[in-house]
């Protein structure tokens, strides 16, 4: 049934694309055109067919009696009359091939160098013109004019005024097959699952209903793919997982963006309304509730000190030494005694060397002192007391004067910049 559904879908698509692709089939698969034209109510257009037949009769007459015979002249006059009729009546309009007629007129005008279409055809189908090159001109007709004429057609109309289209007879065969199969499946499922209603059973096979719709031929790809997957004729698990990943990923991204922007907006609102200030004030003035026997602020301060002393200072020590050296040199240069000392021979370089030694010793001493301080248990106790007093002092000072208002304004503006930057980045 999956194979039959695939065949039915291919036939449906062939029918939908037959008219636009008829010229291709005419050139490459003429037997298909001869058979399927009857389904679409297509037949050769009498006027262009008459024109093609007249040219064939002209060729035969010239071969038998020559170009100067009266029979040849009679057929040339007939072709001139048919050319005028073709220009006036436009037999290509029914097939939507008016462009073919314009191409024919342009080719003939360029061939005989005459800007009048009727005059150009009259010249082309004349004994005087063809006498100078019958073989060459008739080869031009066979190469450029005839292919545009033979693809023209006439399509019959039915009693409703629409084009004849008997594809429904072919489609009815497939619809009948799938309708019978669907009924069988519904009865089978209903018989083995009495708890399901008829509507629930039909919903389970919703995609099969598309196969019964004659006006939804393109949508038949849905049940075809589902049936091929169920029959294990194709494997779409990778495509399905990729689509799910993209779909879920898109939802997650949108939710994340919404949550971030909403969080920033709520934080700004809390700052504007003074909730942050009240929260800080409450925290500073309310006895601390310890949930894990750990003072997080003290531990935070200790951690920061350890990072600064053991990791940061060793990396920036050369920069610190350079600053100290610059300060010492600047102080010496401002000293009158040092300027006088530089004038003595052999003494000018000594202060610079002394400064280097002093800077290195001071730097090493400070670093050693800091490491010993951190390793001392008494220092740990003192640092905790320092962190506690520092927190209280900062909290008290922040509540004085305009400090809180300035901090709130700065935080609000900072969050607004973060929001704008985030939105611009996403866009």
Q: Per-residue pLDDT tens for 362-411?
A: 777 777 766 766 666 666 666 667 666 666 666 666 555 566 667 677 77
Indicate if the pLDDT at residue 8 is higher than 90.
yes
Segment 337-341 mean pLDDT: 58
Is residue 13 over pLDDT 90? Answer: yes
The answer to whether the beta carbons of residues 370 and 328 sit under 8 Å apart is no
Is the pLDDT confidence value at 212 over 70?
yes
> 3-state SS string over the chain?
CHHHHHHHHHHHHHHHHHCCCHHHHHHHCHHHHHHHCCCCCEEECHHHHHHHHHHHHHHHHHHHHCCCCHHHHHHHHHHHHHHHHHHHHCCCCCCCCHHHHHHHHHHHHHHHCCCCHHHHHHHHCCHHHHHCCHHHHHHHHHHHHHHHHHCCEEECECCCCCECCCHHHHHHHHHHHHHHHHHHHHHHHHHHCCCCCHHHHHHHCHHHHHHHCCCCCHHHHHHHHHHHHHCCCCCCHHHHHHHHHHHHHHHHHHHHHHHHHHHHHHHHHHHHHCHHHHHHHHHHHCCCCCCCCCCHHHHHHHHHHHHHHHHHHHHHHHHHHHHHHHHHHHHHHCCHHHHHHHCCCCCCCHHHHHHHHHHHHHHHHHHHHHHHHHHCHHHHHHHHHHHHHHHHHHHHHHCCCCHHHHHHHHHHHHHHHHHHHHHHHHC
What is the arithmetic mean of pLDDT over 160-180?
91
Question: Rounded to an integer, what distance in angstroms lies between the CA atom of residue 262 and that of residue 112?
Answer: 77
pLDDT of amino acid 126 = 93
More confident site: 422 or 153? 153
Express each pLDDT in 289-315 by its tens digit: 555 566 666 666 667 777 777 777 788
Percent of the chain with pLDDT over 70: 71
Q: What is the pLDDT of residue 80?
A: 94
Tens digits of residue pLDDT in 48-95:
999 999 999 999 999 999 988 999 999 999 999 999 999 999 999 989
pLDDT band at residue 325 under the 50/70/90 scheme = confident
Query: Which of 31-40, 195-204, 212-221 is least confident?
Result: 195-204
Whether the Cβ atoms of residue 105 and residue 88 lie closer than 8 Å to each other:
no
Task: Give the pLDDT of residue 87.
Answer: 94
Model pLDDT, residue 411? 73
Q: Which residue has the higher pLDDT, 353 or 163?
A: 163
Question: Average pLDDT of 134-143?
Answer: 94
Model pLDDT for residues 240-294, shown as the tens digit of each residue: 677 667 766 666 666 666 767 777 777 777 777 766 666 666 655 665 555 556 6
- Residue 323: per-residue pLDDT: 78
Say if CB 141 and CB 55 are below 8 A apart.
yes
Provide the pLDDT for residue 412: 74
What was the pLDDT predicted at 30?
92
pLDDT at 321 exceeding the cut of 80: no
At 261 the pLDDT is 73
Q: How confident is the model at residue 318 (pLDDT cuts 50, 70, 90)?
A: confident
Q: What is the pLDDT of residue 366?
A: 72
pLDDT at position 26: 92
**Is the per-residue pLDDT at 340 higher than 80?**
no
Q: Residue for token digits 């029918």?
A: 15
Least confident of 109-113, 296-300, 326-330, 365-369: 296-300
Six-digit token string for 294: 């750990």
**What gap in Å lies between CA 424 and CA 427, rounded to an integer?**
5
> Tokens for 168?
């429904």
The pLDDT assigned to 400 comes to 59
Is residue 189 pLDDT above 60, yes or no?
Answer: yes
At 399, give phi and psi (nearest 5°).
-90, 0
Cα–Cα distance measured from residue 341 to residue 351, given in angstroms and rounded to the nearest whole number: 9
**pLDDT of 327 higher than 90:** no
Which has more pLDDT, 209 or 272? 209
The mean pLDDT of 343-349, rounded to a whole number, is: 53
CA-derived radius of gyration, the chain = 48
Task: Give the global pTM.
Answer: 0.56
> What's the pLDDT at 58?
94
Query: Which of the four pLDDT bands, split at 50, 70 and 90, describes residue 158?
Result: confident
pLDDT over 70 (residue 333) = no
Higher-scoring residue by pLDDT: 135, 406 = 135
Q: pLDDT value at position 4?
A: 93
> How many of the other CB atoms lie within 10 Å of CB of 401?
9
Mean per-residue pLDDT over the chain, rounded: 80
Return the closest-CA partner of residue 190 out of 175, 180, 205.
Answer: 205
Please tell me the distance from the alpha carbon of residue 362 to that of residue 321, in angstroms, as a whole number.
9
């Amino acid at each position: 049934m999956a194979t039959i559904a695939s065949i039915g879908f291919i036939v449906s698509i062939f029918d939908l694309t037959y008219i636009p692709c008829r010229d291709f089939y005419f050139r490459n698969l003429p037997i298909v055109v001869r058979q399927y034209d009857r389904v679409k109510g297509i037949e050769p257009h009498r006027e262009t067919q008459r024109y093609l037949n007249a040219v064939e009769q002209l060729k035969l007459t010239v071969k038998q009696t020559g170009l100067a015979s009266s029979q040849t002249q009679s057929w040339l006059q007939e072709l001139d009359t048919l050319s005028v009729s073709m220009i006036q009546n436009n037999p290509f309009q029914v097939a939507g091939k008016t462009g073919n007629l314009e191409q024919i007129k342009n080719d003939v005008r360029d061939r005989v160098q005459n800007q009048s279409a009727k005059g150009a055809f009259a010249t082309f189908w004349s004994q005087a013109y063809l006498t100078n090159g019958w073989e060459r001109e008739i080869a031009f007709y066979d190469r450029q004019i005839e292919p545009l004429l033979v693809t023209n057609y006439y399509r019959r109309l039915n009693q409703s005024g629409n084009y004849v289209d008997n594809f429904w007879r072919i489609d009815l065969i497939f619809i009948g097959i799938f309708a019978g199969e669907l009924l069988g499946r519904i009865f089978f499922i209903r018989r083995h699952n009495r708890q399901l209603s008829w509507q629930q059973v039909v919903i389970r096979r919703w995609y099969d209903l598309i196969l019964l719709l004659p006006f939804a031929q393109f949508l038949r790809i849905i049940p075809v793919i589902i049936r091929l997957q169920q029959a294990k004729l194709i494997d779409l698990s990778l495509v399905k997982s990729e689509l799910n990943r993209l779909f879920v990923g898109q939802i997650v991204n949108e939710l994340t963006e919404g949550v971030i922007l909403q969080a920033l907006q709520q934080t700004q609102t809390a700052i504007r309304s003074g909730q942050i200030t009240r929260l800080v004030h409450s925290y500073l003035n309310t006895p601390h509730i310890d949930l894990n026997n750990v003072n997080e602020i003290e531990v935070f301060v200790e951690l920061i000190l350890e990072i600064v002393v053991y990791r940061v200072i060793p990396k920036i020590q050369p920069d610190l030494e350079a600053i100290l050296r610059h300060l010492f040199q600047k102080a010496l240069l401002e000293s009158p005694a040092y300027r006088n000392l530089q004038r003595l021979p052999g003494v000018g370089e000594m202060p610079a060397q002394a400064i280097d030694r002093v800077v290195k010793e001071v730097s090493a001493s400070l670093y050693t002192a800091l490491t010993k301080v951190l390793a001392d248990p008494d220092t740990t106790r003192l640092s905790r007391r320092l962190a506690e007093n520092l927190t209280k002092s900062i909290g008290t000072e922040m509540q004085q004067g305009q400090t809180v208002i300035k901090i709130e304004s700065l935080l609000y503006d900072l969050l607004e910049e973060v929001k704008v930057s985030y939105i611009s980045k996403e866009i």
